[in-house]
Structures are given as C-alpha cells and as structure tokens.
Amino acid sequence: MFDLNPVFIPGPTNIPDRLRNAMHIQTRDHRAPDFVKTLAPVLNDCKKVFKTTEGEVIIFPATGTGGWEAAITNTLSPGDKVLIARYGMFSHRWIDLCQRHGLDVQIIECAWGSGAPEDLFAEALAQDQNYDIKAVLVTHNETATGVRSDIAGVRRAINASSHPALFLVDCVSSLGSMPFEMDEWEVDIAVAGSQKGFMLTTGMAILGVSQKALSLMKYAKLPRTFFDFGDMMRANASSGYPYTPPLQLIYGLRESLNMIFEEGLDNVFSRHHRLAEGVRHAVSGWGLNLCAQSPDLYSDTVSAIYVPEGFDSNELTEHAFNTYSVSFGTGLGEMNAKAFRIGHLGALTDVMVLSGLATIEMAMVDLNYPIKLGSGVVAAQEYFRTTAHTKRG
Ligand SMILES: *Cc1c(COP(=O)(O)O)cnc(C)c1O
C-alpha cells in the first residue's frame, strides 16, 4: 500500500495511470515503415511545449545529463570558452561536464539561492571584444535551491553587447511546468528530460535546437557519436532512429503531450503556481525560510527549505521516509544537511500537496522542530480553500 503515496522529490515525478498505461505496450518494429508516423507528430508537438516554430526537437535515449552533453558536443570545439554561473548543484554539474570535455569554462561564482546574474553576464560579454566566448550556459530552474532565473533577462544581457554567443539553457525541471519561450528568448538549445514536467519514467533527453545551433554542427569538433544531431535528424526524417529508440517512452510522451494540451499549457502553469504558493504559505506558517533569496526567484516546481539551526535535514527526510513512507528531496551540495526540498511538479493536485505538507509537518514535530502541528497545513488549506474554483459541474 505504501507505494500509493506520491513522491515529493523534484523528479522523477509521479506517473499518472494514463501514462503508465500508455507505456504498457508490446514491442513494435522501429524499422517498420509506419514508425515515422508515430515519431514525427510527437517531435512536432514537443515544439509547442518549447514554444518554438523555428527550431527542431531532438530526442535521445538518455537523461538530462546526456542532453547537456549533446548540447555542447554538437556546437563547440575543444578549448572553446563558455560562460556560466554557478549557483546550485545543477549549474555546478554542467560546469563539471564542460570542463571534462576540455572547454575553457569562465565561471561566475554566485551565492546558492541566487539566480542567473544578468548584470555580471552583461559585463563579461561586453568585455569580450574578440568574441572568445562561444556560448552562455544557464540553468533556468536550479532544482537544488528552488530558484527560477529570468531567461529573458539573460537574453537581454547577451543582446546588450550584440554578442553572438550561443545561448544554451537547462530547462529540465521547468519545461512543461513553468512558462518557457524558446523562440522569444532566442534560446539556441533548450535541454529537458522525460521524468519531470512530462510525468514519465526517466530515459529521454528532449532538446529544442535552434537553426543557429544546427548551423554550427559542421564546425563543432568535440567528439560525438551517440549524441550526434546530424545522424539523429537524418534518421528522423526518413525511417526513424539511428539506433534503437525507447519505444515505450515515445508512446508515453505522445500521451503526456495529449494530457498537457487537454489541460492547456497555461492552465498547467497556473496549477503549478498555485501548488507552489500553497507550499510557500505552509513554509511561512512553520516560520521557516526558503533558500531562494527573493520572491522573484521562487520556483513553481520545487521549494528548498532551510531547517532551523541545529537540525539536520537528512535526518528529517530519512525519518519521513522510514516512518511515513513518503520521499522528499534532500539537500544537495552546499545545501546538504541544511535544507530539504519539496518537489511540486508534474501530476499533482492541491489535495496531494496537502498530504505531503501534513507528512513533513508530522516528521518535523516528531523530531522536536520548534513548529506547531498544523501550522503549515492550515496556512496551505486557507490558501487553497480561498483560491479554489469549481472544476466539476
Ligand atoms: C533533473 C535535472 C537534470 C537532469 O538530471 P538527470 O538525472 O541527468 O536527468 C538537469 N538539470 C536540472 C535542473 C534538473 O533538475
């Protein structure tokens, strides 16, 4: 029975029955002439989620990390300079991946809990008169700290000096949950995955790729085979895949897109905002603080919450798991032991969120946190109660 409990980790997310059923299929021949009829509409419909009409969508059997690797290896060469800010575990891991690929990584160190520093990006790019910086890399939603950065703002910072650098954005924990505008923000590669906003099992890196990024493939010298955009696009256009595709996941993605479009992308975003607000009301009710430094940075998909001085957040998440069989996100990197995370993205309702808040609240009281039982839940209840609108006749 315990497996009926939702997870409150910020990915992989809860998989609705409808998507589990859609993935429950017998093997089909991916070299059969009709496979492309399955694949092509899925790729096309993904563009609506990235909000791109000009770019292409490419799907690799991989995870978000593979998507990062695909983004840099198809567009850059060894020794190329890239500009990136470190403000959490995911931007940190992308930096590490770039360094291991022999890129010259110019890092802007920022406090964890802050967002992409548009002004510092603008400054670094303005100083780069010779255009040595080939790409600017940004994590849209820093899942470790619950911080959403302003991607339009970073684009303005790049355009302020008319800098030609590529703009590569990690939107793994934001796409399909919070507004994302690939064309409008002139994002060259947007990296997403199957296991967050798409509510699927892990196993696909889903990339939106601009024509500008595609045009750089012929100059990019970083080695790539599995992640080659050219091989993938040629195969997609004719028969299907350059190797064996993750068939069940592609069927799952078809159904996930159906669900998202039926609810309406904007409604999906407002549901996420409302759920996040409910969680934030609970955090205030407890008298605790978010890692995100200011409200403009608050993420609608994950909240990272500092535990009070003298407490260990790992004990809290372990206790919640051992006692109530509910998973919450642990503190990553600099946040280890200092913060826990509540993932509130994907297939979730306010009723499910209330169950998570009630659970972590019990766990905190069990461990003698200085909070009152019910204090967070009642704040979330008040918020949900007063913002609910009738969904059923
Ligand atoms: C989950 C996540 C990733 C990808 O991680 P994988 O485990 O490789 O799928 C990348 N970036 C962010 C911001 C994430 O939340």
> Residue 138 sits in which domain range?
17-261
Same domain, 6 and 26: no
Amino acid letter for position 312: D
Q: Are residues 82 and 136 in the same domain?
A: yes
Q: What is the pLDDT of residue 392?
A: 62
* Residue 112 DSSP symbol: B
Q: Is residue 377 part of a domain?
A: yes
The token duo for 116 is: 């992409």
Ligand 1 atom nearest to CA at 196: 1
On whether residue 138 sits in a domain, the answer given is yes
pTM beyond cutoff 0.95: yes
Asked if 370 and 239 sit in the same domain, the reply is no
How are the residues of the chain apportioned to helix, strand and coil, as percentages rounded to the nearest 5?
45, 15, 40
- For ligand 1, pick from 60, 93, 112, 173 the residue to mutate: most ligand atoms within 8 Å of CB: 173
Q: Rounded to whole angstroms, how far apart are CA atoms 229 and 298? A: 34
pLDDT of residue 21: 98
Q: CA 71 to CA 209: how far, in whole Å?
A: 9
Is the four-CA dihedral 88, 66, 101, 74 of positive or negative sign? negative
- Domain of 272, CATH number, reads 3.90.1150.10
Stronger pLDDT, 2 or 213, i.e. the higher one = 213
Per-residue pLDDT at 388:
86
pLDDT band at 255 (very low <50, low <70, confident <90, very high): very high
Residues 229 and 336 in one domain: no
Same domain, 119 and 135: yes
Render pLDDT for 9-64 as a digit per residue (tens, 0 to 9): 999 999 999 999 999 999 999 988 889 899 999 999 999 999 999 999 999 999 99
Q: Is residue 48 domain-shared with residue 6, that is, in the same domain? A: no
- The answer to whether residues 285 and 373 belong to one domain is yes
Q: How many Å lie between the centroid of ligand 1 and the Cα of residue 138? A: 13
Residue 183 phi/psi, 5-degree rounding, is: -70, -45
Structure tokens at 227: 């992640």
In this structure, the answer to whether residues 8 and 22 fall within a common structural domain is no
Burial of 368 (0-12, 13-18, 19+ CB in 10 A): exposed
The residue from 245, 261, 277 where one domain ends is 261
Counting residues of the chain whose pLDDT is more than 70, the rounded percentage is: 99
What is the percent of the chain with per-residue pLDDT over 90, rounded to a whole number? 95
The angle that helices 35-50 and 247-263 make with each other, rounded to 10 degrees, is 40
d(CA 171, CA 37) in angstroms, rounded, equals 27
Average of pLDDT values for 100-106? 98
Same domain, 324 and 244: no
Q: In the listed set 261, 292, 318, which residue is the last one of a domain according to the structure?
A: 261
What does the alpha-carbon distance between residue 305 and residue 324 come to, in Å, rounded to a whole number?
A: 20
Q: Are residues 227 and 280 in the same domain?
A: no
- 100 C-beta neighbours (distance < 10 Å), count: 9
Q: Is the pLDDT of residue 68 over 70?
A: yes
Pocket (CB within 6 angstroms of ligand 1) = 11, 63-65, 90, 139, 141, 143, 170, 172-173, 193
Residue 133 covered by a domain = yes
Residue 172 lies in a domain: yes
Cα(142) to centroid(ligand 1), Å:
9
Query: What is the distance, to the nearest Å, from the Cα of residue 4 to the centroid of all Cα atoms in its chain?
Result: 24
Q: Kindly state whether residues 287 and 249 are assigned to the same domain.
A: no
Decide if 83 contacts 158 (C-beta within 8 A). Answer: no
Mean of pLDDT over the chain:
97
Instruction: Give me the phi and psi of 322, to 5 degrees please.
Output: -70, -35
Residue 274 CA to residue 391 CA, distance in Å, equals 15
Residue 188 placed within a domain: yes
Q: Is residue 390 part of a domain?
A: no
Minimum CA distance residue for ligand 1 atom 3: 64
Q: Which atom of ligand 1 is nearest to the CA of 11?
A: 1
Domain check: are 163 and 23 in the same one? yes
- Residue 170 within any structural domain of the chain: yes
Widest Cα–Cα separation across the chain: 64
> CATH number for the domain including 137?
3.40.640.10
Residue 320 tokens, joined: 């919640």
Average pLDDT over residues 369-382: 98
Question: Which DSSP string corresponds to 222-237?
Answer: S--STT-HHHHHHHHH
In a domain, 307, yes or no: yes
Which pLDDT score is estimated for 33?
Answer: 87
Domain closes at, from 261, 285, 304: 261
- Domain count for the chain: 2
